[in-house]
């Protein structure tokens, strides 16, 4: 009797796990993707495959900074930050900025020099900050993630899975500073020496897709086009994550619309 009961409980547990597991409904949209509807994983492809994540790594940098606080401090741009490649503001070594301004520029414009300046400031040096990133990833249960740098440049060992990035996105959006900056379309600020900067968000969904509230774009040759998109509509929230997505904007719009349609139909189906 006990064996029969144990077997029955195991079967029920397996059935429940299968029912709650996300389905690979749209395998052509990206090398790996993840869609949550109201916090429920719904569709996913290769959810646990570690892949290069490009500037999506900046979300972990932002999370560490937001959790630490003290963004009212002053950052002196390091030589490493001034030499950063890729998307950048053109910061000069020795320039001084409010940490909060560089934080916003990092998230809005995905500026690598702002990101590196903040990492050097917070960690004392890049290696120390990257170690902090990996420690925090472990605390969040991001077991398929390893960071090799703060800003997402292609590097051996710099990889994450879409499941892990969903955990990071939820933790990041729980921080009011990140949530506010994630939906900014533009940002203007000055160095403490008076040099003016004006940037526009790299997220093409903001102001264009109804309900878009973030979150982060990314691109490198190794990672391809990446995106974490978050949108709210009619009381529902949809999170979509794509890694190495050839047509990230149109495919993300399609996934979001399909997910909102699924959310609208779900209550009616449950009521039958």
Of 198, 246, 205, 195, the closest CA to residue 228 belongs to: 205
Query: Beta strand pairing status for 212-220 and 186-190?
Result: unpaired
**CA 109/CA 118 separation, integer angstroms:** 14
pLDDT value of position 21: 85
- Per-residue tokens: 202: 């790299």
pLDDT value of position 267: 63
From the list 110, 161, 191, 201, the catalytic residue is 110
> Domain-by-domain residue ranges, the chain?
24-271
**CA 233/CA 105 separation, integer angstroms:** 27
Question: What stretch of H or E contains 58?
Answer: helix 58-68
Model confidence at 270, in pLDDT bands (50, 70, 90)? very low
pLDDT value of position 75: 99
pLDDT value of position 13: 39
Full DSSP string of 158-224: -BB-HHHHHHHHHHHHTSHHHHHHHT-SEEEEE-TT--EEEEE-S-TTTTTSTTEEEEEEEEETTTE
- Give pLDDT tens digits for 94-136: 999 999 999 999 999 999 999 999 999 999 999 999 999 999 9
From the list 31, 55, 161, 191, the catalytic residue is 55
Query: Beta strand pairing status for 40-45 and 32-37?
Result: antiparallel
Query: Which residues face 197 on adjacent strands?
Result: 189
Contact 42, 262 (CB under 8 A): yes
Q: Does 191 qualify as catalytic in the annotation?
A: no
pLDDT value of position 20: 62
With 50 as the cut, is the pLDDT of residue 6 above it? no
What pTM does this model have? 0.90
Q: Does 110 qualify as catalytic in the annotation?
A: yes
Looking at residues 231-250, what average pLDDT do you find? 98
Model confidence at 149, in pLDDT bands (50, 70, 90)? very high
Model confidence at 14, in pLDDT bands (50, 70, 90)? very low
From the list 31, 58, 183, 216, the catalytic residue is 58
- Whole-number percent of the chain with pLDDT over 90: 89
- Per-residue tokens: 14: 């397996």
Residue pointed to by tokens 């160095």: 191
- Give pLDDT tens digits for 31-59: 999 999 999 999 999 999 999 999 999 99
Helix count (H) and strand count (E) of the chain? 9, 9
Q: Which residues contact 234 (CB under 8 A, 6 or more apart)?
A: 260, 263, 264
Q: Does 55 qualify as catalytic in the annotation?
A: yes
pLDDT value of position 203: 98
Mean pLDDT in the chain? Answer: 92
Q: Which residues contact 63 (CB under 8 A, 6 or more apart)?
A: 136, 168, 171, 172, 175, 178
In CATH, 24-271 is 3.40.710.10:
yes
């Amino acid at each position: 009797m006990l064996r029969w009961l144990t077997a029955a409980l195991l079967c029920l547990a397996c059935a429940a796990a299968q029912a709650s597991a996300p389905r690979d409904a749209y395998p052509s949209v990206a090398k790996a993707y993840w869609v949550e509807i109201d916090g429920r994983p719904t569709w996913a492809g290769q959810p646990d495959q570690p892949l290069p994540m490009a500037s999506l790594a900046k979300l972990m940098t932002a999370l560490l900074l937001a959790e630490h606080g003290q963004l009212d401090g002053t950052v002196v741009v390091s030589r490493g930050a001034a030499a950063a490649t890729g998307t950048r503001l053109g910061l000069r070594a020795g320039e001084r900025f409010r940490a909060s301004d560089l934080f916003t520029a990092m998230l809005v414009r995905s500026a690598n020099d702002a990101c590196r300046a903040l990492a050097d400031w917070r960690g004392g040096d890049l290696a120390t900050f990257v170690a902090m990133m990996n420690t925090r990833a472990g605390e969040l249960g991001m077991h398929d993630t390893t960071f090799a740098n703060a800003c997402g440049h292609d590097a051996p060992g710099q990889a994450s899975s879409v499941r892990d990035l969903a955990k990071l996105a939820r933790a990041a959006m729980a921080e009011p500073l990140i949530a506010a900056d994630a939906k900014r379309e533009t940002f203007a600020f000055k160095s403490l020496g008076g040099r003016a900067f004006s940037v526009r968000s790299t997220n093409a969904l903001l102001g264009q897709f109804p309900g878009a509230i973030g979150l982060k774009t990314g691109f490198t040759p190794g990672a391809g086009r990446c995106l974490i998109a978050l949108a709210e509509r009619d009381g529902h929230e949809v999170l979509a994550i794509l890694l190495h997505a050839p047509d990230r904007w149109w495919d993300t719009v399609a996934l979001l619309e399909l997910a909102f349609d699924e959310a609208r139909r779900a209550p009616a189906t449950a009521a039958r």
